[in-house]
Structure 1
Amino acid sequence: MIQWTSVSSTAIRKIGYDPSTRQMYIDFEDSAPYYAYCSVPQHVFEQFVSASSVGRFYHQHIKGQYDC
């Protein structure tokens, strides 16, 4: 089951994670419905949602790293 977490960001509305499949989902402000990322370790998801800048974290640690 996907756990959704709202985040404070101008680019990202919320981030979802399914620990059973290690898939992460990002709901961007300017797209619908969301993008999926595969084989994401749970600790990366936890760091992402608690980052001081989720946009910066996305660009430095997610984008291009976990494409399905």
Structure 2
Amino acid sequence: MPKTFAEPQAFSDAEYVAIPMTPVESNQVAAVGYDAARKTLAVTFTRGTGAIYHYPNCDAKLHADFMAAESKGKFFGAHVKQLPFVKFRAPATTAA
């Protein structure tokens, strides 16, 4: 029987606040960022449209543990994936 997937979540109309991202070594996760003032974890993935996912109400320890994890993909699946998130379109890049 083929796998069934939920419909993708729509992009948010909320104001996007950029969070500096650090590229990571992972087959699944492309980059991770954290805004301590807003307690928001940001994640982008290696596949897909380049969307940026913001996970609010995350503490700094979760971010530190994520960055220290040997497998970013496994850590994401075990500790982040189930958290509520807001999905933003990838910011447009400007050509130089």
TM-score of the aligned structures, taking structure 2 as reference length? 0.64
1:34-68, Cα deviation, whole Å (9 max, x unpaired)? 11101010000000011000100001111112x14
Q: Are 1:40 and 2:58 an aligned pair?
A: yes
Pick aligned residue for 1:56 from 57, 74, 81: 74
Q: Which has the larger radius of gyration?
A: 2
Structure 1 residue matching 2:37: 3-state secondary structure: coil
Structure 1 unaligned regions, length at least 5: none
Higher relative helix content: 1
Structure 2 unaligned regions, length at least 5: 1-17, 86-96
Higher relative strand content: 1
Identity percentage of aligned residues: 25
TM-score of the aligned structures, taking structure 1 as reference length? 0.87
- 1:1-68 mapped onto 2 (5 Å cutoff): 2-31=19-48, 32-65=50-83, 67-68=84-85
